[in-house]
Structure 1
Amino acid sequence: MEKTMQMAMVYETLLCSPGMAESVKLDMRVSRKALLLLAASVESQLKGPAGSPAAVTDYFGVETVEELEKMISDMLLKSELSGLHSKLKTLQNG
């Protein structure tokens, strides 16, 4: 429990730092394999049970989580992986 409180304090401190709400433009090249793994990893963390010790999303607001979900969706669309990603999710859940 103490470690959870410490992590909450760290995230709260980081999120209150100057400039954290500013937009950042990224220009990077990533393999489709890495992008698919990133999307799956982020989604699994976002869909985790709220309140669980590993749920980092508990420290962020709903707007930030929605922004992250949209960013992942946009990256999958731009890389033409959204169809494959949704089929993999169907296989995983079914």
Structure 2
Amino acid sequence: MLSKNDLEKVYSTILCSPGMNESVKVLLQLPRKNILCLVNAIEHSLLDGDKDKRGFDMDVEQTLKAVSIELLEKSGLKEMYDHLAKLA
């Protein structure tokens, strides 16, 4: 098994590989509960840990935040998620 440092290097290498900046259209059909879980996972991954060791730059972070917001808005869960976030 790779050490955490080695895994970070591999992940960083994959992210800078050719073609990784190309846009891909993704169609999702998820239950609302899965959308809430996915948005929560994205949020916690962006908040937790050392930003320098996550292996991605600010553009990726901003894109993930935008995807989270879009998922919540399209599923009609934005307001509920905001209220849940206030409880935490």
Whether TM exceeds 0.5 here: the answer is yes
CA RMSD of aligned residues (A): 1.8
Q: Which residue of 1 aligns with 2:7?
A: 7
Q: Which residue of 2 aligns with 1:64?
A: 60
SS in 1 for 2:7: helix
Aligned-residue identity in percent: 31
**Aligned pairs, how many?**
87
Q: Which residue of 2 aligns with 1:83?
A: 79
Highest RCO, 1 vs 2 (Cα 8 Å, sep ≥ 6):
2
TM superposition shift of 1:49 = 3.5
Unaligned 5+ runs, structure 1: none
TM-score scaled by length of structure 1: 0.83
TM-score scaled by length of structure 2: 0.88
TM superposition shift of 1:17 = 1.6
Instruction: Supply the AA of the counterpart residue of 1:13.
Output: T
Distance 1:34 1:41 in 2: 10
Unaligned 5+ runs, structure 2: none
After TM superposition, the runs of 4+ consecutive aligned structure 1 residues lying more than 6 A away are: none
